[in-house]
């Protein structure tokens, strides 16, 4: 049987890379893609998702628009690492329009799809967790109906990438991250910011990857040109050298784990939470190394992975 995935994304360039890994995997069926604000505003993340599906000739996969702002509201500034539009500011005049979006709201779609395939669906969250938080508040029994949950987000060492201590997806909506980490009791696997950075690929691989002679590779090279330039500029920026030291496709780690159960080679099962009140630590993922929280539902935190498997999945994605 194929693995049934439901992907929740804020489609920027690394979301595109991750989605294309899942699209190319022969053992995977994507039941839908739900969209959230994040790397850019919701309209752009929806448009970008459709562009990715169009590039892969997979527009039959339904796409749903979801949350446009955090649970408590506030501005959506976007990450800008992937360009203002989230996809490298490389427009395509032939891109599909938003009229192809499903009319059903993303949160309703999550609840319906999981109920239709109770116990079979792997939910993969690679953006802010607002849609997932809203879904579990609408149906508190949702986690028990999932096969498992894979998340890209959070941090284990207090190293922030958008705030002093906060990783982008969690810091974008700390309340949503708190709800998901504490209320999703299904088996949950998380690829954190530090894990992604420590599992980076070489720039030599990146060039080999995007220079394959295929339409998908040309598409990828076009949309990653902006972030590649930003990474190169960071070589001389104190504190940002990680972006220049190797190719990090953050969201691809969560999808790779969902696609191939042998991708992750070491896990730590541990209690987690999210800080909501700290003036410097709001949005930081709390790792309960000494089990003081006494949490029953502990999360599987990825510690190491098989980079050769990741490279193979990524190469196949652009064939």
Catalytically active residues, by annotation: 10
User: What phi and psi values does residue 280 have, to the nearest 5 degrees?
Assistant: -110, -15
Contact 203/246 with Cβ under 8 angstroms? Answer: yes
The CB-side HSE value for 318 (13 A sphere, CA atoms) comes to 24
Separation of alpha carbons 45 and 169, rounded Å: 14
Q: Give SS3 for 287.
A: strand
Separation of alpha carbons 290 and 77, rounded Å: 36
| Tokens encoding 13 | 């360039």
User: What phi and psi values does residue 228 have, to the nearest 5 degrees?
Assistant: -65, -40
CB contact set of 309 (below 8 Å; sequence gap of 6+): 256, 260, 262, 263
Separation of alpha carbons 132 and 107, rounded Å: 7
Q: Three-state secondary structure along 39-77?
A: CCCHHHHHHHHHHHHHHCCCCCCCEEECCCCCCCCCCCC
Integer CA distances (angstroms), 41 to 51, 148, 190, 319, in order: 15, 28, 24, 30
| Tokens encoding 168 | 């982008």
CA angle 175, 176, 178 (to 5 degrees): 65
């Amino acid at each position: 049987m194929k693995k049934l995935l439901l992907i929740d994304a804020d489609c920027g360039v690394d979301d595109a890379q991750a989605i294309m890994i899942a699209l190319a995997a022969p053992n995977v069926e994507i039941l839908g893609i739900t969209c959230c604000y994040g790397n850019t505003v919701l309209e752009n993340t929806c448009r970008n998702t459709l562009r990715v599906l169009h590039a892969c000739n997979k527009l039959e996969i339904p796409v749903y628009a979801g949350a446009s702002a955090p649970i408590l509201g506030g501005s959506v500034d976007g990450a800008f690492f992937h360009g203002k539009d989230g996809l490298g500011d490389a427009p395509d005049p032939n891109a599909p329009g938003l009229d192809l979006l499903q009319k059903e709201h993303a949160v309703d779609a999550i609840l319906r799809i999981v109920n239709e395939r109770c116990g079979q669906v792997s939910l993969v969250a690679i953006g802010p967790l607002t849609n997932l938080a809203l879904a579990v508040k609408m149906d508190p029994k949702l986690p028990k109906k999932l096969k498992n949950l894979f998340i890209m987000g959070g941090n284990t060492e207090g190293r922030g990438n958008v705030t002093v201590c906060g990783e982008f997806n969690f810091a974008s909506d700390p309340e949503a991250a708190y709800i998901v980490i504490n209320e999703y009791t299904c088996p949950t696997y998380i690829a954190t910011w530090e894990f992604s950075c420590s599992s980076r690929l070489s720039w030599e691989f990146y060039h080999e990857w995007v220079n394959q002679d295929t339409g998908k590779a040309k598409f990828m090279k076009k949309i990653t040109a902006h972030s590649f330039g930003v990474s190169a500029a960071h070589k001389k920026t104190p504190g940002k050298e990680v972006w220049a030291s190797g190719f990090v496709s953050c969201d691809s780690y969560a999808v790779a784990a969902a696609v191939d159960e042998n991708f992750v080679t070491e896990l730590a099962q541990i209690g987690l939470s999210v800080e909501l009140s700290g003036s410097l630590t709001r949005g930081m993922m709390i790792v309960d190394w000494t089990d003081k929280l006494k949490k029953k539902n502990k999360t599987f935190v990825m510690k190491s992975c098989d980079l050769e498997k990741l490279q193979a999945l990524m190469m196949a994605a652009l064939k």
